[in-house]
Amino acid sequence: MIWRRLRPGETDHEAIWLGVSLASLALAWLWLRSGLPLPACPLHELTGCACPTCGATRCLRFALGGDFGAAFAINPLAFCAFVAMALYDLYAATVLALRLPRLRGEEWPAWAGKSARIAAIATIAANWAWLVWRGV
């Protein structure tokens, strides 16, 4: 990982993903504030078993309300994803506003990608087990 300026014609990921993140947050906030019904989980409706993302909407609702303990308890992976998204948004807003160099990964060894995929699958499986155990 290195800090460097954008190259000519390079995609500005910080601007794109900050925009997507803020638009998604605004839409979620509007949905929750308008009193619209929460979306039902098709897997949970069919099987009675939680899916890997069950509880993410309630997690977001608790997090936006400031009850971080309840948000984490409902869906730890969703809560961590929301925190990571907030940290990324702070990073992106800072480098965009101050025109700073961007953090970029240059050359990654082959084992790093495989390890990251295995870790991601294990994390999702552990979160899913937590949700099933908690009866979310």
Domain count along the chain:
1
**Token output for 26:** 């605004």
Query: Cα separation of 91 and 103, whole Å?
Result: 10
Query: Cα separation of 132 and 136, whole Å?
Result: 6
> What letter does residue 41 receive in the DSSP assignment?
P
Domain range enclosing 9? 2-134
pLDDT (average), residues 60-74: 91
**pLDDT at position 47:** 86
User: Which pLDDT tens digit goes with each residue over 20-59?
Assistant: 999 998 998 898 789 888 778 888 888 888 888 888 888 8
Q: What is the pTM of this model?
A: 0.83
User: Which pLDDT tens digit goes with each residue over 94-103?
Assistant: 999 999 999 9
Q: Are 20 and 12 in contact (CB under 8 A)?
A: no
